[in-house]
Structure 1
Amino acid sequence: MHVYLQQWATFARQWHIYDCTWQNPFESARLVKTHLMGLHKPIYHPMNDCGDHVVLINTKEIALPGDEWVKRVYFHHTGYPGGASWTLAWQLHDKDPTMVMKKAVYNSMTGNLQRRHTMQRLHLFADDNVPEEILANVTNQIRTPRVVPQRLDHIDKETLENFPTIMDYPKDYVLR
């Protein structure tokens, strides 16, 4: 009986959740691709559709490296004459906060003949408001490659006051 349960768990589609807060979308896309395509499973084969569902939350909080927000351009064509357009990353992110992450995951699956079908198992949310029927399915959390630093305005005042200082500035010191 135990062997059958292991086999069932291998073939079953699992649900993973990934928090995109302060994460590079291109590094994250490689991690997400592994679970979407089923590359982490021992039964993986390029023609076998054994991938899992992945829920991405907080996609509006992604962090592009360097000046990618103003230099990265996304191409779109409507299919009609004169329908080509190029959109900067920050403009695309303002229109739809999930689109940069979606395009990063889609582009990371080059060579996958089933990537349009595979992308149907990707669930994107701009914040952490995920419907209960989706959260009820989640069984695993994908670890983020980058640790999210704590913001200064979220640290309590007592911790800030007791934090060790390197230099003691005089009371009349003025910063320029």
Structure 2
Amino acid sequence: MKSYIAKPSEVERKWYVIDLEGKTLGRAASQVATILRGKNKPTYTPNVDTGDYVIIVNADKVVLTGKKLEQKMLRHHSLYPGGLKEISYKEALAKKPEFVFQEAVRRMLPTGPLGRQMLSKLKVYRGSEHENLAQKPEVLELRY
């Protein structure tokens, strides 16, 4: 038996639309990260980007369970002393829900050039309209 190793030129990519209305942030992000990496395909190869394109709509209607909306903080550092910036998820979802979902997915992808290439296939939109109708995306329902 021979192992199949995908080549970047042979990868066939599909476009999917996922509606996040009423979906949990972490569960949805982990399934989207799996699709972006290509782990849902039999042709998955760890060192090749075999994933599909994903369009996210209604990112502002994503749900956080428990008290995470008030207690969980979105943090980043400016790399200067005392430069820790914090914002609660309630404020972050009100201001920039696209960034909140994209950050959740980014942190589940590998670091480095391959992870950045995978993340570039993610398109996140606040409302129910998106600009990628020309690609004829398929509607995908998440598994939970």
TM range (shorter): 0.7 to 0.9
Partner residue, 1:17: 17
**What do the CA deviations read for 1:21-59 (whole angstroms, capped 9, x no partner)?**
010010001111121111112211110111111000000
Question: Of the candidates 129, 133, 136, which is equivalent to residue 135 of structure 1?
Answer: 133
Classify the secondary structure of the residue corresponding to 1:69.
helix
Equivalent AA in structure 1 for residue 49 of structure 2: D
Provide the residue aligned with 2:85 in structure 1.
85
Give the letter for the 1:66 counterpart. Answer: G
Q: Does structure 2 conserve the Cα–Cα contact (< 8 Å) formed by 1:17 and 1:138?
A: no
Higher relative contact order (CA closer than 8 Å, sequence separation 6+) = 2
The SS at the match of 1:98 is helix
TM-score of the superposed pair, with normalisation by structure 1: 0.70
**1:121, distance to aligned residue in structure 2 (A):** 0.7
For the residue of structure 1 that corresponds to 2:55, the secondary structure is strand
* CA positional deviation for 1:85: 0.7
User: What's the % identity of the aligned pairs?
Assistant: 25
Residues 113-157 of structure 1: CA deviation (Å, up to 9, x unaligned): 4222211110000001212xx1221432221345xxxxxxxxxxx
What is the root-mean-square deviation of aligned Cα atoms in Å?
1.7
Letter of the 2:33 partner, please give it. Answer: K
Q: TM-score, normalised by structure 2?
A: 0.84
Structure 1 gap segments, 5+ residues each: 1-9, 147-176
Question: CA, structure 1 residues 138+112, in 2 after alignment: closer, same or farther (shift >3 Å)?
Answer: farther
2:55 corresponding residue in structure 1: 55
- Name the CA shift for 1:86/1:129 in 2 (closer, same or farther; >3 Å): same
Counterpart in the other structure of 1:33:
33
Q: Match of 2:69, SS?
A: helix
In structure 1, the residue matched to 2:101 is 101
Contact 1:14 1:138 in 2 (8 A): no
Contact 2:29 2:104 (8 Å CA) reproduced: yes
Corresponding residue pairs, total: 134
Which letter maps to 1:118? M
Max radius of gyration: which structure?
A: 1
CA distance in 2, matches of 1:112, 1:32: 16
CA distance in 2 between counterparts of 1:69 and 1:28 reads 16
